[in-house]
Amino acid sequence: MRETTYGRVGETERAAFRAGPVDGESAERLAANGLDYRRLAVDSDEYVGWLQSVARGFQDGERTAEQIAASRERSGYRRLTGVFDPESPMDAPVATIASWLGELTVPGEAMIPSCAISAVTVAPTHRRKGVARAMLEGELRAAHAAGVPMAMLTVSESPLYGRYGFAPAAAGASWRIETKRAGWIGPQPAGRIDFISRERVRELMPALHERVRHRRAGEIDVPHSHWDGFAGTNPAAEKTAEKRAVQYTDADGDVRGAAVYAVRENHDDFTKATVSVHYLLAETDDAYAALWRFLLELDLVAEVHAGELSVDEPLLWMIADQRAAKVSVRDHQYVRILDVVAALETRRYGGPGALVLDVSDPLGIAAGRYLLEVDESGAGRVRALGGEVAEGVTVMLGVAELSATYLGGVSLATLAAAGRVTVAGAGDGASDPLTIATRVLGWHTAPRLSIWY
């Protein structure tokens, strides 16, 4: 992993972020409508109502006492905020939002501190009155004020967050593979696969993930509570018994990968069970090949389903019949640049060159003109230009479009063809300005994010 100026996030910074104040502007706006916008503590009585509001907001059932206890125990990493209506007869907020300071992997094997946002809900009784807007703007301004250069989230609905400057930056691919048709033509590694307990896989995954997440732009440091979800070790979770876990040990005896999956029988035809892959983590190409082969060759299984894969999985090239895999792609990891200099200096680039980026921002946070100069090694230096004149290729774009290209998930040429960015200036004789800008901002590997949050 590459060390950078903005670097990793320590526990002290995370705790300071959690304890930071709510945004004053949003608090005032909500107060003008009789609503109280404030943080709450995970160990307070208010947490119960907050959690019930989140569950109801996502059309889920009421949480049991056991689930509340398990959630409380695993939620200490989150900054919790609620919007309370003093007129409401319920002891629960009418809107919720959670966030935490995490690490986002960017092109070039570096990480940037990023404000992860989740649990955004507004009660149906208070919807479409600007409450979500106040919370989102508030959380972004609070993160910016705390010096956090980036924000990120995964979404329930696509149209919600572009208005705040977010853009889908890493797509997620869902696979349905007909196992009998696929035909394994990939490597057959020399290591071994073994079944392991759910407790063992719960222990293995965080360490394995720490060793691989810096390699793929779009991945984040996974909150520990999520591992209980994947492994089925959260005592309050349902259907944990159906989860099976395996590990891959290489020829030297080192564990290099693990997978958790569940099988659904087909009672009409016992040869047509379906496997759902909950999480597959591979540190080496061998581990990747061995784990996928194991899953595709399970007896009595006709289909394997897997989600949150990348759009360029090597797996496609390990099966004889590519049409055995139905792959659907959708927006998954959204990012939002808050500090253009920090964000652009942290990632690496596809080629050398100088670009003027003229960035607009609906919230004003990242707006400005910036000069990005990339050297032969792909490292970028960035300077805010203000009104200063600069020669060269100029890219005019919104912060959402800059965020969309940031992880290398979409090229500038595609955004230009879609009418989302404008490129002006002179070429260099060999290439036109759009080609130059596309090459500089490009990246060779598609980003991915293997979880929801």
Ligand X SMILES: CC(C)(COP(=O)(O)OP(=O)(O)OC[C@H]1O[C@@H](n2cnc3c(N)ncnc32)[C@H](O)[C@@H]1OP(=O)(O)O)[C@@H](O)C(=O)NCCC(=O)NCCS
Q: How many CB atoms lie within 10 A of CB 160?
A: 15
Q: Would you count residue 363 as binding ligand X (CB under 6 A)? A: no
Q: CB neighbours of 251 closer than 8 A, spacing ≥ 6?
A: 189, 190, 191
Instruction: Kindly give, in sequence order, each residue whose CB lies less than 8 Å from that of residue 324, ignoring residues fewer than 6 positions away.
Output: 177, 178, 179, 181, 182, 183
129 binds ligand X (CB under 6 A): yes
According to the binding rule CB under 6 A, does residue 330 interact with ligand X?
A: no
Encode burial over 338-361: b for 16+ CB neighbours within 10 A, e otherwise. bbbbbbbbbbbbbebbbbbbbbbb
Contact positions with ligand X (CB under 6 A) in 93-122: 120-122
82 binds ligand X (CB under 6 A): no
List, as one string, the DSSP characters of 170-207.
EEEEEEEEEHHHH-B-S---SSEEEEE-HHHHHHHHHH
Q: Does residue 128 touch ligand X according to CB under 6 A?
A: yes
**Residues in contact with ligand X, shown as a per-residue x/- string from 8 to 37 under the rule CB under 6 A:** ------------------------------
In the complex, least distance from residue 384 CB atom to ligand X, rounded to whole angstroms: 28
Is 381 a binding residue for ligand X by CB under 6 A? The answer is no
At 97, give phi and psi (nearest 5°): -155, 145
Does position 331 interact with ligand X (CB under 6 A)? The reply is no
- Chain-centroid distance of CA 80 in Å reads 19
**Of positions 44, 64, 125, 156, contacts ligand X by CB under 6 A:** 156
Contact call for residue 127 and ligand X (CB under 6 A) = yes
Residue nearest to ligand X (CB): 132
Q: Considering only the stretches 149-157, 175-183, 280-288, 432-440, report the one whose residues sit in contact with ligand X under the rule CB under 6 A.
A: 149-157
258 binds ligand X (CB under 6 A): no
Residue 126: CB minimum distance to ligand X, A: 7
Helix (H) or strand (E) holding 68: helix 65-74
Contact between residue 414 and residue 397 where contact means Cβ atoms under 8 Å apart: no
H or E, element range at 401: helix 399-406
Among 106, 155, 173, 340, binds ligand X (CB under 6 A): 155
Beta-strand ranges (E) seen in 34-76 are: 36-40
CA distance 396 to 356: 8
Residue type at position 403: S
Considering only the stretches 151-159, 174-182, 272-280, 312-320, report the one whose residues sit in contact with ligand X under the rule CB under 6 A: 151-159
Number of residues that bind ligand X (CB under 6 A): 18
Closer by beta carbon to ligand X, 166 or else 248:
166
> Tell me, what amino acid is at 346?
T
Closer CB to ligand X, residue 127 or residue 272? 127
Binding of ligand X at residue 163 (CB under 6 A)?
A: yes
Residue 160 within binding range of ligand X, rule CB under 6 A:
yes
- Binds ligand X (CB under 6 A): choice among 22, 40, 132, 335: 132
CB of 25 to ligand X, least distance (A): 15
Residues that bind ligand X (CB under 6 A): 57-58, 120-122, 127-133, 155-157, 159-160, 163
